[in-house]
Structure 1
């Protein structure tokens, strides 16, 4: 069935997938203490319930995006949902912590496949321009809503039905999306490329996975090995007949800058949610459920602002909107950091600056996604999706590692509310530095004019596919 008759329904399905993936991350984090008590594992084992997911997700995004281009976007989307559902069921049945960690790694793999394919399908369904901006706004809104929804549902389900129910909710939602996908998404795809860059796929995936492992587990040897593999990957790509990431792609200045800005955005934003949740619980004494609800006003502002981002881009331009977004992110983080108080309340410390951050979040997310995907041809939608999602995922992991280390170093051995508040404040100010750097860099963001944005094949000649108009059928990359 052609999605040209049902673009709204297709967008609703793809945005719901984004909601599922973000909710899945948050919902399990809330259930972690109950998991530890039930399975008898300590903090080290519990950390891997989250880390296994992050490493698999971050390591496989690039490969997943490219595989979607070659194997079919809807096919990989359904495969990812099936793997996510099966892994969630395994997690819900896990008798030991080791079993659960393996299930979480499989969940991360399924999320990478489904997430990269869903983003690529959105790029194909909505050509570059106002329609895509609105669609990306819907994605940003669902991401903001998913963070809070996952936190709230995690607290409710864990309290009422136990932590295993959080995994079974993922099974049910993934199955619903899987049933609807064949009805709403076109399965047409181009024929597979004449060759596949197996050495590039192996070195990229292993390198990204090792770097992710090093960031979440602070392993310098793993990090060095991962960087070495990524260097080897870059070398191999210059000699591969059918590279996983064609070198010409990296010669696009706007793409490089946009991916860097996407990473910086997540380096500031992702740890902010974590730190605010900790502050509300450990300093102000909120329960996990009420701590999660404390982020609800921010999410409601995200949902309200995201659909308007496309109109703002049309009115003042992409570059100015990006600068505005990062400037507001910087101001919101500084305001939040200075407002924190060991003797404060939610209303006097977190509420007002979180509303400003709720405006900034969709601005920076939508504009960086627009810039990172604007030059992608139909044959590169999966690749563009994999690149920007990888940038965002590694920005999240790196930002969390850096800001938590800063907070811990500042807090020291004293666990008093005053010491913890000081640590959170210093960490948030560090995040504000990332936002300030991104604001300065985003002023240099320039997309080439349409006549100059023709992609080049390896030989340096314009690609024949570049002259082909973008298709409106989801999955059709002919």
Structure 2
């Protein structure tokens, strides 16, 4: 047994209660995902107060998403090197401080800079929460439950943002969309310092500087170029340039990891596990599914059926509750059924649900055209998301738990960014072709229906790729056998 293993086992004996560790991980994930959507309904007020241009206003959203996706791999590796406790606390500090700056901002540039910093904090927090789960819950059933709760927390965070953003902006001010993170962050920092005292597994090893620079810059350039496509088209130099540069940097990053890095930022040995390799590939495909579900369904409710933003958020609440219940219920099935049956069941829900949504038009009511299919899609997300996250991280060695979590989060975020750009372009092109010069609810519905058909196609692609998943049921991995004796913990 190594000294790290011995220290880890000794530390776990002094860790906080399982329910507090799980609550902390879920609360952090909820806050990270909440802030990717809560600002959307506050954008008109922000533009009016701070004098944003239309192009500049988009960076209140994009600045966060860009650094969140771009720094995730680095955040995951740092969690392995310095320990998930330190990385989570540092991420909470960065996130809370930048939220304070954003809430007090009196200039557009200050708010955008604060959102960029928020994204960095989120990229530190998200993989650290997965590392906490992987190192704290090593017994298969407990870990599966933990993944289900963590996944549900993120999904509900995204949905809650659509409701809370409108309510906070209307009842208080857009500034409280950011300021509310400050007291919450302070509480979570105190909890993390107390209950994660025994989960530190950090190692004194050098940071792979070349890998960190090329990997982070490559991901950031790729996501930036994809984000630009909605405004400039895929053939524009503003899109093609960053995308090509990002891909080239990622090639350099891979070469550095394979041949030159003494302690790689992303150890390529992780991909020797079929579950890790296929799981991350499927997360890349899956990333666009929640976008089609929450974002474009919200637009359909508002722009086609005429609902207000708050009504649209409330209209999606049944699906959010369904997702929460299914994710919590389905995740414990993973050790018994394996990943493939759950993914196939989820893909079937995507096919039927999105196929049903694609039939909706301006004459469809909420009950007949939206509620039923969104419940089906929510069931599919609840079955699929925690399963893929478990598949993509379960076989990673404990010392690589942070980077495995960062890689899985990165795959989902990059898939979502690419998916949003492609789906938004498809919807706009179809709506314009149907409009005959003037957009109408009917032409917009045609664009959204195309998005839902494409999402159904992604569900089919996920089902086909799932045949590559290993048949094992994610029972305890060999490298976790010894630590599970003292470190495995049940969940309430």
Alignment TM-score, normalising by the size of structure 1? 0.92
Deviation at 1:361, TM superposition (A): 0.9
Q: How many equivalent pairs are there?
A: 463
Select 1:146's aligned residue among 153, 157, 163: 157
Report what 1:84 is aligned to: 95
Structure 1 residues 128 and 204: alpha-carbon distance in aligned structure 2, compared to 1, 3 A threshold = farther
From 52, 66, 87, the equivalent of 1:55 is 66
* Mapping 1:344-355, distance limit 5 Å: 344-355=364-375
The verdict on how the C-alpha distance between 1:5 and 1:50 changes in structure 2, with shifts beyond 3 A counting, is closer
Give 1:448 shift: 5.9
Q: In the alignment, which residue of structure 2 is the partner of 1:373?
A: 393
Alignment partner, residue 127 of structure 1: 138
2:483 is aligned, of 457, 466, 469, to 469
Equivalent residue for 1:327? 348
Cα 1:301–1:143 change in 2 (3 A) is same
Check if 1:400 corresponds to 2:420: yes
Counterpart CA distance in 2 for 1:255 and 1:165 is 39
User: Any conservation in 1 of the 2:339–2:388 contact (CA below 8 Å)?
Assistant: no
Q: How far apart are the structure 1 equivalents of 2:16 and 2:248?
A: 48
Does the aligned pair in 2 maintain the 1:211–1:222 contact within 8 Å? Answer: yes
| Equivalent of 1:435 in 459, 463, 471 | 459
Per-residue CA shift, 1:251-270, capped at 9, x if unaligned? 32221110011121122222
CA separation in 2, counterparts of 1:448 and 1:280?
42
1:353 Cα deviation from its structure 2 partner = 0.6
The whole-number CA distance in structure 1 between the counterparts of 2:14 and 2:370 is 43
Q: CA deviation at 1:241?
A: 1.7
Measure how far apart 1:315 and its partner are.
Answer: 4.4
Within 5 Å, which residues of 2 pair with 1:34-45?
Answer: 34-45=45-56
Which stretch of structure 1 is more off in the superposition, 313-322 or 373-382?
Answer: 313-322
2:196 to 185, 193, 196: 185
CA contact (8 A) 1:158 1:165 kept: yes
- The answer as to whether partners of 2:136 and 2:199 remain within 8 angstroms in 1 is no
Measured after TM superposition, the shift of residue 128 of structure 1 is 5.4
Segment of structure 1 superposing worse, 105-114 or 23-32: 23-32
The equivalent of 1:444 in structure 2 is: 468
Deviations 1:183-210 (A, max 9, x none): 2112553453433211011100010111
Could you tell me which runs of 5 or more consecutive residues in structure 1 were left unpaired when the two chains were aligned.
455-464
Distance 1:191 1:55, change over 3 A: closer
CA offset at residue 316 of structure 1?
A: 3.2
Tell me, what secondary structure is at the counterpart of 1:238?
A: helix
SS in 2 for 1:230: helix
Query: How far 1:430 moved relative to its partner?
Result: 0.8
Q: Which residue of 2 aligns with 1:460?
A: none
Spell out, residue by residue over 1:431-458, the C-alpha distance to the aligned partner (whole angstroms, 9 max, x if none): 111111011111221056889976xxxx
Compared CA separation, residues 388 and 25, structure 1 to 2 (3 A)? same
TM-score when normalising by structure 2:
0.90
Query: Aligned partners of 1:39, 1:69: CA distance in 2, in Å?
Result: 40
CA positional deviation for 1:324 = 1.1
SS at match of 1:202: helix
Aligned equivalents of 2:87 and 2:486: distance in 1? 19
Give the equivalent residue in structure 2 for 1:262: 283
Deviations 1:293-330 (A, max 9, x none): 11100011011111111343344332111111122122
